[in-house]
Structure 1
Amino acid sequence: MSAHLIRISEVFSSYTREILEILAAEKVKRLGSEYYLFQTEHAERITNSPAARFIRWHIPVEHSWPCNPEKMDGFIEKAAQTIYYKFESLNPQTMLVGQLDPSSTKRYYKALASNFRGRALQVFEFPERAPKAAEDQNSSRKTLFCMLGKEGLFCGMASPKESNGFYPGGTKYISQNAEDTISRAGAKVAEALHYLGMFRPDLPEGSHWLELGASPGGMTSELLKRNYRVTAIDRAPLDARLNAYKALTFLRDDVSEFIPPRGARYDAILSDMNGPPRQAIAHVTRLTDFLNPGGIVIFTLKTTGAESIPEIDSLEKEVLEIAEKAGLTFVARTHLTYNRQEFTLFFEKA
């Protein structure tokens, strides 16, 4: 029996009981707004079961201190010394701290998490080559992740790939400036690219993206800001603010009728299209002949109409089969901050 901490996004709260049943979870305790602490004899199901797609982030809990930190004298020093003695011999590449309730307007725990990490780093005395930022981590090497809240402190060792994110709690939150934002989809693709960094290097500037279903241009804008070239396809127009970008080619056309011009090659395909997922992935795979070897596909799997975990599981399996037949290798899948009841899937062309 081992203890685990998982995060299930609020949008999937209606599936929580079923997810925990699949995991054979016992002694379940809810922490913060989206976290669940439990014990199970089937830890493998966290990453290999129909429930896995709903688990946004997770760690094995190897140290827990149930308490109210606000009422504990010397909490930071006691906690820092304790985790040093428990984890120093395991040689974590770094130590990161997150909040169990990051949406809380109370600033106390944000400050406490920062101060606790600062003191713990002093105690551990990590070498100069240790990662200075979350994104600098080796995604396959174990990190000491700690989660902190009014319920106490919960820590465990996992690599970013194993936990499903560089940051405690998952991928990096991308804030949006309302004045400059075309749509929330811009933050979605920014977070997706950040997540993909766990598995492969970023595409170099000047890489050519084919974006299917681009209107109104939120994702298009984010790609252009990263100095990528973009060919965007949609029957609806793009936001007029994108007209100034010379690296943008916009074709007001139906994706199903789009035929790339002779000699066209792309380094990546991005699809956030609405509609049936089987139809959307068929549009993507039809165009993979124009995708360079090693090119990537970022695909939003919409689950509208699926009302149970088995239905969603079946839907994703069909999409993966279609992609595999077209020569796409499945890389990863996750639920992003700006995803609704949908998942972001990542593929690579062999």
Structure 2
Amino acid sequence: MTQPRPNPPELLLLYCRAGFEKECAAEIQNRARALHIEGFCKTSDKSGYVLFSPYDTAQVSTLGEELRFADLIFPRQWVFALPLISQLPVTDRITPLLSAARSLGGPFSDILLETADTNEAKELSVFVRKFSTPFGAAAQAAGLAGGRQSAPRLHIFFLDSSNAYVGLSHPGNASPWPMGIPRLKFPRSAPSRSTLKLEEAFLTFLGPNHKALQPGMRAVDLGAAPGGWTWQLVRRSIRVTAIDNGPMDPALLESGIVEHLRVDGFRYLPPKPVDWLVCDMVEQPARIAALAARWLAGRHCRYAIFNLKLPMKKRYDEVRACLERIAESLDAAEVPFRLRARQLYHDREEITVYAERLGSR
């Protein structure tokens, strides 16, 4: 059988939170322009995805080589894709999809059949689940499955049952989770669902077994009540000073490693440096950014995770301004640092920021 001529990806497909397509598009265009790559984005409000098309399609590969997915904020996942495959035959969708997949290479380390994360796509996800079994068997028979762990993953992103994008992502430079979404289970003993934000943040920024989360460390949780974020720290045997005028979950206080102080979170500073600052206060993003910068520049903490609640308009501009202010403050204090930000799955109108002081304490 004659193998089809390789057909390199021409588009960058980015999954994002529905309603944040404009921010996702602005970010990828800004990052591409910094690499002297010009192109245009196709977006549709609340679609949950963005398409970036370089004017020179050969430059799609440059984006994957020069950009780190971990440095992007609004995309949940990115896929280097072929042009849309439209009007898939109802009687045989598998053959054209396999042909497109084969043109990308293979065998692949994984095969992911996905949709946008929208209410409209929930019904489509039923079709995708049913289709995954026969397609997986066909891909296995075609020699496209079972590749090495380091091999690219194949993504088939369905817009509906007749239209799909086929593309690749590369392990180590993409989200490890299908659709870019970690499926976390809400722990019954946690006092609020906000606990999932911090759990996802730890997984996203640190991984499952990071040295920054060790028993016996000390943390401050600003705006702690009722204790969703404190719960994540306590379960890792980290001692917490919980700052909030509201009541904390009694079970957390009974743990013996939580101290609750009813003081102003913007005024409080620990009597001696702690390992962690976490903060999920509802406040203007510029104030939270300045607060975090003060803690890090003043060496009051080594690590910090905090949320920035975004305004209704110019959200990407606000994010960039806040991150620049933090970086400028730490540079001025001559504090080496690492700074990352991501709109997590469990975030809503906000992003989560991770900051770390580098070097000796």
The TM-score bracket by the shorter chain reads: 0.7 to 0.9
Per-residue deviation, residues 89-148 of structure 1 (Å, max 9, x unmatched): xx7544433223564443222333465446546734536xx55xxxxxx7xx75433323
Is residue 2:257 matched to residue 1:247? yes
Matches of residues 28-67 of structure 1 in structure 2 within 5 Å?
Answer: 28=42, 33-41=47-55, 53-62=73-82, 64-67=84-87
Q: Give me the whole-angstrom Cα distance separating, in 1, the residues matched to 2:189 and 2:262.
A: 23
Partner of 2:163: 152
Cα deviation for residue 276 of structure 1 reads 3.2
After superposition, the Cα gap between the structure-2 partners of 1:17 and 1:345, relative to the gap in structure 1 and judged at 3 Å, is closer
2:129 is aligned to 110
What number of residue pairs does the alignment pair up? 327
Post-superposition offset of 1:198 = 5.9
Contact 1:330–1:348 (Cα < 8 Å) also in 2: yes
Structure 2 gap ranges (5+): 1-8, 33-37
How many Å separate the matches in 2 of 1:230 and 1:39? 47
Q: 1:347 aligns with which of 351, 355, 358?
A: 355
* Pairs within 5 Å for 1:35-184: 35-41=49-55, 53-62=73-82, 64-68=84-88, 71-73=90-92, 75-76=93-94, 79-80=97-98, 83-84=101-102, 86-88=104-106, 92-101=108-117, 103=119, 104-106=121-123, 107-113=126-132, 116-117=135-136, 120=139, 123-124=143-144, 126=146, 142-150=152-160, 151-159=162-170, 162-163=173-174, 165-176=175-186, 180=189, 182-184=191-193
Write the letter of the residue equivalent to 2:20: F
CA gap 1:19/1:188 in 2 versus in 1, 3 angstroms:
same
Aligned pair in 2 of structure 1 residues 222, 94: CA closer, same or farther (>3 Å)? same
For 2:169, give the aligned amino acid.
A
SS of the residue corresponding to residue 269 of structure 1 reads strand
Q: Aligned letter for 1:8?
A: C
Deviations along 1:196-233, whole A, 9 cap, x unmatched?
Answer: 14698364441433222212211222333344433322
Checking the alignment, whether the CA contact within 8 Å between 2:29 and 2:39 is kept in structure 1 is yes
Contact 1:31–1:100 (Cα < 8 Å) also in 2:
no
* Cα distance between partner residues in 1 of 2:211 and 2:131: 33
Distance 1:29 1:344, change over 3 A: closer
Question: What is the aligned partner in structure 2 of residue 333 from structure 1?
Answer: 341
Q: Secondary structure at the match of 2:198?
A: helix
Query: RMSD over aligned Cα, in angstroms?
Result: 4.0
Shift of 1:34: 0.8
Residue of structure 2 equivalent to 1:269 = 277
Contact kept? 2:113, 2:132, Cα under 8 Å: yes
| Structure 1 unaligned regions, length at least 5 | 132-137
Higher deviation after alignment, 295-304 or 212-221: 295-304
